[in-house]
Chain A
Amino acid sequence: MTQPIRIHNDPGVILELLNLRTVFETRGGTVRAVNGISFYTRNDTVLGVVGESGCGKTVMAHSILRTVDPMGGKVADGNIFFRRKNGEVVDIASLPSEGRQLRSLRGSEISMIFQEPMTAFSPVYTIGQQIMEVITLHQKIPSRQAKAKAIEMLGRVSIPKPEVRVDAYPHQLSGGMRQRAMIAMALSCQPKLLIADEPTTALDVTIQAQILELMVALQREFEMNIIMITHDLGVIAELATDVVVMYLGSIVEKAPVGEVYSNPKHPYTKALQESIPRVEGSVSKKLATISGSVPSAKNIPPGCPFHPRCREFMQGQCDVHVPTLETLSADHTVACWLYGGGE
């Protein structure tokens, strides 16, 4: 199963995963949290990653930064090609764990923001100290300049009175303000790639919208790539340009956002689509929930991982052979035997 490596030929591609496998060895067996995924993402896009809880979205994100290693995970196989600011392409999967090269990428070229704005900052340092830390770590500038930069970044994410807030401790800010500060910290070294793992799930609906709007605006301003992880298809519809649909550690479909909504191919994507609550006229349509529950990542079904719940399951094919990603049109790929997947 050899796929073409795009990143070497197309300077617009900044990240390309090839057959990435991340596992956790636990007492109860091997958890295949990310089970052989491949995708690439181009400059200036917002790539949405969706899927049910436990499908491996967070683990995939932590694999890209290799922060899975200290969590007990292991990138067991595959490549994570990333184009650095200087144009050089590195394979993050092959870098030594917690090594210097890896650390030089974190926070400076690839940043990450997390779901919990309440606990993602250390309570004992000011917001400013924590932002300055990442700046001085990657840029050799005196701390006074770093502080000015921190204040500037807090202003960029629309925090009022940034020159005061810079000296505030996390517990003195509201959840929304903290998430803005988190974004300011993530962007303070102008990374090329920002991975946001459900950045708004813990916030009020109105704050959610503000934060998402801010992220889109900053994405354009900083000309960076965002990978937006969520299980909220509404969020995806609002700001993603492309969508990756994950199921049990695999990618089942990848397409431009319009295609996913207007022309979903994979039975799982279709089911996800139908499960969005929608109001049509005055009659709200009944939710079509996906039957069955997600199997455990310790015990992934043979063949297509979705076959036990699939409405279009084909005996002898789907439960035996693993479908590979099949290209339907330029940017639309799907892993399903309905579309002749596999060699």
Chain B
Amino acid sequence: MLAYLLRRSVWMLVTIVLVSMLSFILIQLPPGDFLSTYIAQLSASGQQVDAAEVAALEARYGLDRPVYVQYAMWIRGIVTRGDFGQSFQWNRPVSDLIWERVWFTVILSGASFVFSWVVAIPIGIFSAVRKYSVGDYLFTFLGFIGLSTPNFLLALVLMWLLYINFGVSPGGLFSQEYIDAPWSLAKVWDMLQHLIVPVVVIGTAGTAGLIRTLRARLLDELNRPYVTTARAKGLSAWKLLIRYPVRLAILPFISTVGWVLPQLVSGGIIVAIVLNLPTVGPMLHRSLMSQDMYLAGSFILIISVLTVIGTLVSDLLLAWLDPRIRYE
């Protein structure tokens, strides 16, 4: 088990290094860079561009050096000083801009993930055990409606309902008065209220699929001989269900834990824009458009690191839950 952990950790490091290099190169691939775009903008508006100033900027960001030197400088800054470089567009250090968004994204994906499991697992179990019952058909019907409703529409409807009934101001993660306020219990409570809509919207997006898959998996497991063996021991119906078929049916889902984050970052952009959420998605999108390379590169790097860690955690969880993997 220890050797397994060690091997996995080494691979994790290698993956992170490769991903960070690749993303850095990819970001630089389009012709031009932020500075040349900036200069072009300035001269277009008739402003004088001081050649000395340009040179100073270039030297400061290392733009006059080869790409690999830039990469090395950037990584050294991160590792030694926690300095992710400067965002050109915002004219602020990247580290000032990203952390809050990264944590909100992590909180949001975590909460949505928990929400979808808490909803999907009991329904999936019910639908499998009471196959073809009225309830099974009802959940199937609801699931298809959920699958075919665009997320942003659901987001708008929920925001409207919440505003009409509870006066919760729509959009964002905080009410106006809390945005710049220091952290307090009231602020957390305010945030939780604002989290409901995004969590439900993002969570339900995966719920229908999760229910169908769990139902199918469980239907397979319910007829396995080990279930009959366990029943012949005298276990009660509930204990039997949870300890035997359900225990095996959920195994494949454990490995999806690691994918939650990138899915949210890449798939949740429209919802994040509609709901005005301070997540990674919209800002990453903008920084890529404007070739704000250190900002975009830092986002991609952090998301990759979190994803790789997530995958490692889910693999360890799976190995812990499934001895057939552990003793390979």
Contact = CB atoms under 8 A, between A and B. Distances in A.
B322 interface: yes
A277 interface: no
Interface stretch (B167-175, B178-186, B225-233, B252-260): B225-233
Contacts of B323: 123-124, 126, 169, 171
B237 interface: yes
B225 A133 contact: no
A251 to B, nearest CB: 23
A225 interface: no
A133 B229 CA distance: 12
B324 interface: yes
Nearest to A108: B234
A298 B323 CA distance: 43
A105 B323 CA distance: 31
B228 A67 contact: yes
Nearest to A97: B237
A104 interface: yes
Interface in A111-147: 111-112, 114, 116, 119-124, 126, 130, 133-134, 137-138
Nearest to B245: A122
Contacts of B233: 106-107, 133-134, 137, 185
Nearest to B322: A124
A67 B231 contact: yes
Interface in A48-104: 62, 65, 67, 70-71, 98, 103-104
B324 A171 contact: yes
B229 A120 contact: yes
Given A111-B232, A122-B247, A98 B237 contact: yes
A61 to B, nearest CB: 10
B31 to A, nearest CB: 55
B224 interface: yes
Contacts of A158: none
Given A122-B248, A123-B323, A123-B324, A134 B234 contact: yes
A120 B226 contact: yes
Given A114-B229, A120-B229, A103 B236 contact: yes
A210 interface: no
A123 B234 contact: no
Interface residues of A, number: 33
- SS class of chain A's interface: helix, strand, loop or mixed? mixed
Interface size, B (range):
20 to 34
A30 interface: no
A137 B234 contact: yes
Interface in A178-217: 182, 185
A106 B327 contact: no
B232 A122 contact: no
Interface string A146-179: 0000000000000000000000010110000000
A171 B234 CA distance: 24
A121 B324 contact: no
Contacts of A172: 327
B244 to A, nearest CB: 6
A114 B225 contact: yes
Q: Which of A71, A103, A105, A138 has the most CB atoms of chain B within a 10 A radius of its CB?
A: A103
B321 interface: yes
A114 B231 CA distance: 12
A160 B81 CA distance: 60
Interface in B141-161: none
A124 B248 contact: yes
A71 B323 CA distance: 28
A70 B236 CA distance: 12
A124 B321 contact: yes
Interface string B39-51: 0000000000000
A106 B234 contact: yes
Interface string B68-94: 000000000000000000000000000
A155 B285 CA distance: 66
B56 interface: no
B234 A124 contact: no
Contacts of B230: 122, 130, 133
B228 A105 contact: no
A130 B244 CA distance: 11
Contacts of A111: 232
Given A171-B324, A172-B327, A106 B228 contact: no
B5 interface: no
B24 to A, nearest CB: 43
A162 to B, nearest CB: 19
B13 interface: no
Given A124-B248, A124-B322, A124-B323, A119 B226 contact: yes
Contacts of A114: 225, 228-229
Given A98-B237, A119-B226, A172-B327, A65 B232 contact: yes
A120 B324 CA distance: 16
Nearest to A119: B225
Interface in B212-239: 224-226, 228-237
Contacts of A134: 233-234
A107 B232 contact: yes
Nearest to B244: A122
A122 B234 contact: no
A104 B233 CA distance: 9
A225 B235 CA distance: 23
Nearest to B237: A98
A104 B244 CA distance: 19
A169 B235 contact: no
14 contacts: A67-B228, A67-B232, A98-B237, A103-B234, A112-B229, A114-B228, A116-B225, A123-B226, A123-B248, A124-B247, A134-B233, A134-B234, A137-B235, A169-B324
Q: Which 9 A-B pairs have the closest CB atoms?
A: A106-B234, A107-B233, A107-B234, A103-B234, A134-B233, A122-B226, A169-B323, A119-B225, A112-B232
Given A106-B234, A122-B243, 20 more contacts: A67-B231, A103-B234, A104-B234, A106-B231, A107-B232, A107-B233, A114-B225, A116-B225, A120-B226, A121-B226, A122-B226, A122-B230, A122-B248, A123-B226, A123-B324, A124-B323, A137-B234, A137-B235, A169-B324, A172-B327
